[in-house]
Amino acid sequence: MKALLATLILWGASSSADIINCDFTEPFFSTSYSMVQQSLTVIDIEANKKVIKGVSFQIMGAGHFELWDKDKNVLQTIFLNYNGSNGMSDMLYPYEVINSNLVYDTGSNIVVGGCTSNFLHAEEL
């Protein structure tokens, strides 16, 4: 029920400039998705910035979301499970994210990170 309520809040908030920020380690990079701009910004450890435009936010089910590029390729899969982690900090993130190599190429490694939004924030363990 908590995941469904948060899904509805996030979905309803899409018209109010919601931002989803994700952090990753090994390799170190971060992403920021803007629902209003429909763009995904990627920043690596050296502060190199890449912006992917035309990114849509898809609700796949309760607590399960995907970011798609204009060709409907999955860029990130996001789960609202209150179990996200950036891999190094003592923070617990409300969202867990799986990154696609289309966003940041990590070779054959699957990279999992943690995300926050305007409405749901990380908490210290």
Judged on CB neighbours under 10 Å (0-12, 13-18, 19+), 96 is buried
Per the structure, the complete domain to which residue 48 belongs is given by 2-124
Average the pLDDT over 44-66 and give the result: 97
Model confidence pLDDT, tens digit, residues 26-51: 889 999 999 999 999 999 999 999 99
Largest CA distance in the chain: 41
Count how many domains the chain has: 1
pLDDT over 90 (residue 106): no
SS3 letters across 59-111 = EEECCEEEEECCCCCEEEEEEEEEEECCCCCCEEEEEEEEECCCCCCCCCCCE
> E strand or H helix at 25, and its extent?
none
Closest CA to 14 of 93, 119, 100: 119
Mean pLDDT of the chain: 88
Closest CA to 32 of 46, 43, 48: 43
Q: How many C-alpha atoms does 117 have within 13 Å on its Cβ side? A: 24
Higher pLDDT, 68 or 89: 68
pTM across the whole model: 0.84
